[in-house]
Copies of this chain bind each other. A is one copy, B any other.
Amino acid sequence: MEHNDKQVHIIETAEKLFALHGFAGTSIRDISREAGINIAMVSYYFGSKEKLMEAIFHHRITHAWIAAEEMADNNILQPWQKVEELIHSFVEGMSNKSYFHSLILRQQLSNEMSPIASLMDSVRERNTNIIGKIIREGQANGDFKQDVDIPLLLFTMVGTAYQTLHSRESYRKMHNLQHMTDEAFMAEMKRRLKQHIFFCLKQSYHK
């Protein structure tokens, strides 16, 4: 399950190309050309194109969301601070690993039964549980209403973030922010996005 440097290089190259052109739209030749490796390396290291895709998911998922779980169990932060922290880490995660999140979205669109699909299902379930734990804690201490629809809340967070990050150029144009540097613009957009999501959730379910 551990990958050496060369394997990681292939994985991340493939992640990018699969994200941009889809699984079927990316040939092993494309990957090997972009990564500067031999065509036979993919089959050699991963067995097949399919298995390479699975390797990408395992590579990314292994170390993810552990922090979130710890935070949910944290006793110092207030529920709303936890939500804020969750939104923050989610938006940052998505914008840092944007290729991977494109992959997730693509995988979700092809609703097939596959090892990857099962893996993602379990991830989604875990995420729901984390949020559920926070929400229930908030309901217990009177911060949240009783009729919060947790999945919808998760969908709003995920969906809004997806949509915004994938439409960054439209967003920039609509707000006439072309004068900013790329970095400054991204920072500003993420700031507004986090605030916006937080407002959406807070106002909807605040008691």
Contacts and interface: CB of A to CB of B under 8 A. Distances in A.
Interface in A109-158: 109-111, 121, 124, 128, 149-152, 155-156, 158
Interface of A: 19-25, 102, 105-106, 108-111, 121, 124, 128, 149-152, 155-156, 158-164, 166-167, 169-171, 174-175, 192-193, 196-197, 199-204
A110 B22 contact: yes
Contacts of A150: 174
| Top-6 shortest CB links A-B | A159-B159, A203-B203, A159-B163, A24-B25, A155-B163, A24-B24
B19 A22 contact: no
Given A22-B25, A23-B22, A203-B203, A155 B174 contact: no
Nearest to A155: B163
A83 to B, nearest CB: 14
Contact of A174 (B151, B170, B174): B151
A196 B156 contact: yes
A204 B196 CA distance: 8
Contacts of A128: 174
Given A23-B25, A25-B23, A106-B22, A156 B160 contact: yes
A127 to B, nearest CB: 11
18 contacts: A22-B24, A22-B106, A105-B105, A124-B167, A124-B170, A128-B174, A149-B192, A149-B196, A151-B174, A152-B160, A152-B192, A155-B167, A156-B160, A196-B204, A199-B204, A200-B201, A202-B203, A203-B204
